[in-house]
Chains A and B, each alone.
Chain A
């Protein structure tokens, strides 16, 4: 485990140890330089402090050999840094042949990924451990950037181009990924989780029931837009309805002051009988969808709302109850 105040993120890909070693090297060289300069300045500062008000310093003469030394030595060290960095960079850009290809699409402000078997994910990415994974990145609107600190990888997602990046996960776990190219209002919410799984788990996940979940999330997202839910339940909390980010599984504060757990039953009830439990601070303005949705569609919508669980909750405009004192 990492300590409370780590100074480097977890190492979870083939690149991470190399990048950290390079970091250590450059930090070491720079630290020695900074230390040398600082010590020299401090010594001179006190040793040559003006003795009498009229005293002048003793001129020291320009020395071309000295100047040459302090140009050439830093140059050599700089070239070492350049060379080492270049070697790692070439590795970054040289994708191996046998990759598992996953397609990633960015749009304001979410990530969609498609696994090789067509399974889709939102703000989530599942990858098998030990396999070379190649991400093909495309953007539907502005420039985004896919960044996984634990993997030490990052690549801009540029509209009109396909950029690719690759990595080999080396440690199972869940890691943050971020959008790190500023892309507008909810840039900071455009983040999610990479899950690194054992290859067998990954295979099971791809083919198993959770695969169906992935597909129903996609269907649910489509419905969310088609049925115009999206026009009120804005993710950033500025809509007429509360943002649904992070709501699933949380306590919801209702208008009458009571709270309710946002489980599947609650979501279902809220879709079919919206006025039964009104979220605090919101008007009962949602129409009922009774008779307009099939069961399958309700399940899909629920799965989609579930998938928003990991989304950051906006500062304002959500229904989640504030934490109570004893927790």
Chain B
């Protein structure tokens, strides 16, 4: 197994990219983009995380098996979040509109 050695130059470039990302995300957070604020914040965070995984953690140069492990972990995290969301995002609003009678309040 010949090991791929990433050059320090590339590490410095990644470092600057990550710093840039940090300032961008703070700058974006203090402006109002409505519902897009959270999307922007998470997109930048994901971009930063991807850089760390690909270069600092050498995933780009790793064997297929390691890459598969990474994809699997993201997939299972997505299962956890998405399938739970099927419940929370489709809850019927009817229950909350029931006007409770007085018996529902404790004396």
Contacts and interface: CB of A to CB of B under 8 A. Distances in A.
Asked if A and B form a direct contact in the complex, defined as CB atoms under 8 angstroms apart, the reply is: yes
B96 A162 contact: yes
B96 A114 contact: no
Chain B interface helix/strand/loop/mixed: loop
A162 B103 CA distance: 13
B95 A105 contact: no
Contact of A140 (B96, B100, B106): B106
Interface in A99-132: 103, 105, 112, 114, 118, 120
B101 A162 contact: no
Interface residues of A, number: 13
Contact of B103 (A103, A161, A163): A103
On chain B, which size bracket covers the interface?
Answer: under 10
Contact of A112 (B95, B98, B103): B103
Interface string B75-107: 000000000000000000011101011011010
Interface in A73-120: 103, 105, 112, 114, 118, 120
Interface in A148-184: 161-164
B104 A164 contact: no
A136 interface: yes
Contacts of B100: 103, 136, 138, 162
A136 B103 contact: no
Contacts of B103: 103, 105, 112, 114, 120
A164 B95 contact: yes
Interface string B59-79: 000000000000000000000
Contacts, number: 25
B75 to A, nearest CB: 24
Contact of B98 (A114, A118, A136): A136
A273 B98 CA distance: 47
Most buried by A among B100, B103, B104: B103
A138 B96 CA distance: 12
Contacts of B101: 103, 114, 118
Contacts of B106: 140
Contacts of A114: 101, 103
A140 B106 CA distance: 9
Nearest to A218: B103
Contacts of A140: 106
A136 B94 CA distance: 11
A112 B94 CA distance: 23
A103 to B, nearest CB: 6
A122 B106 CA distance: 16
Contacts of B104: 103, 105, 138
Interface of B: 94-96, 98, 100-101, 103-104, 106
24 contacts: A103-B100, A103-B103, A103-B104, A105-B103, A105-B104, A112-B103, A114-B101, A114-B103, A118-B101, A120-B103, A136-B98, A136-B100, A138-B100, A138-B104, A140-B106, A161-B95, A162-B95, A162-B96, A162-B98, A162-B100, A163-B95, A164-B94, A164-B95, A164-B98
